[in-house]
Amino acid sequence: MSGELVLDNARLVLRDEVVLGAVTIRDGLIHDLERGRVGVGEDFDGDYLIPGAVELHTDHAEYHMRPRPDVEWEPTAAVLAHDAQMTAAGATTVLDAVRLGSGPDDDAAATARAARRLTEAIIGTRQADVLRADHLMHLRCEISAPDCLEQFESYADHPLVRLVSLMDHTPPHHKPRRTPVPDQTLPCHPFAPNTPVHCSHPSAPRPRSSHLTNSKTKTRSTTHLLH
């Protein structure tokens, strides 16, 4: 994304408040935020402009590719469907989990092949510039699997890897006791100067938006996602 784009007359959802203002994007980075209208650029008519969420761990790309046992969908189509769901939910940076290691009831060769095909699809769709969100990789390592380390070494230095997690699914005690989790803020991109803005897909709306309907008044407001 090159050049300059001004988003004016938007309700900016900041960390502690919502203000009417404008955002200037220059060469793919947030350059400036101003309170009040500036009178130039794209008029948001008071719509909300919010930072895109960061999804740190999602298995949905795998589920799209393998929706049922012994069924595999074409991986590129699976990644595109997954990407559409993520952006519709407000996530603009997605760490797609890639499972490394096979369980005792799994076909080790099939598990390794699925990881490779999913990785190739993520790389291919990024290179083709057809994704709305920025997709990176999260290596989900099944530490009880004898082939986990070997598979991990094949991906450890990949430039798209941003997160590695260790999963212990050793039967029969693989499910830990659930404990209450305090409310947490969903990680998202900050509204701050020099924050990258991702709008790589040529046919994607700039900025991306989702429509929210008020069930009582039947009025519709628009929320735009900015990453």
Whether 60 and 115 share a structural domain: yes
Whether 83 and 132 share a structural domain: yes
Give the mean model confidence (pLDDT) for residues 62-75: 89
Give the mean model confidence (pLDDT) for residues 210-223: 39
pLDDT at 103: 75
pLDDT at 69: 80
CA distance 227 to 210: 14
In terms of pLDDT, which residue wins out, 195 or 14? 14
For residue 45, pLDDT beyond 90: yes
184 is a domain residue: no
For residue 224, pLDDT beyond 80: no
Whether 105 and 157 share a structural domain: yes
Query: What does the pLDDT look like over 86-128, one tens digit per residue?
Result: 999 889 999 999 999 987 777 888 889 999 999 999 999 999 9
pTM exceeds 0.85, yes or no: no
Name the band, by pLDDT with cuts 50, 70 and 90, for residue 29. Answer: confident
Name the band, by pLDDT with cuts 50, 70 and 90, for residue 210. Answer: very low
Tell me the pLDDT of the chain averaged across its residues.
81
Whether 162 and 60 share a structural domain: yes
Name the band, by pLDDT with cuts 50, 70 and 90, for residue 225. Answer: low
For residue 54, pLDDT beyond 80: yes
pLDDT at 193: 67
Question: Could you tell me if residue 153 is left (phi over 0), alpha (psi between -120 and 50 degrees) or otherwise beta?
Answer: alpha
Nearest to 1 by CA among 32, 31, 30, 27: 27
Whether 47 and 63 share a structural domain: no
- Two tokens at 128? 């083709």
Whether 160 and 62 share a structural domain: yes
For residue 190, pLDDT beyond 80: no
41 is a domain residue: yes
Whether 158 and 103 share a structural domain: yes
Give the mean model confidence (pLDDT) for residues 160-167: 94
Structural domain count of the chain: 2
What is the extent of the structural domain holding 16?
4-51+190-226
In terms of pLDDT, which residue wins out, 104 or 226? 104
**Among 106-115, 139-148, 209-218, the least confident range:** 209-218
219 is a domain residue: yes
Q: Which of 123, 152, 167 is the last residue of a domain?
A: 167
pLDDT at 123: 97
147 is a domain residue: yes
Whether 61 and 47 share a structural domain: no
Query: Which CATH number covers residue 197?
Result: 2.30.40.10
pLDDT at 159: 95
Give the mean model confidence (pLDDT) for residues 133-162: 93
Whether 211 and 112 share a structural domain: no
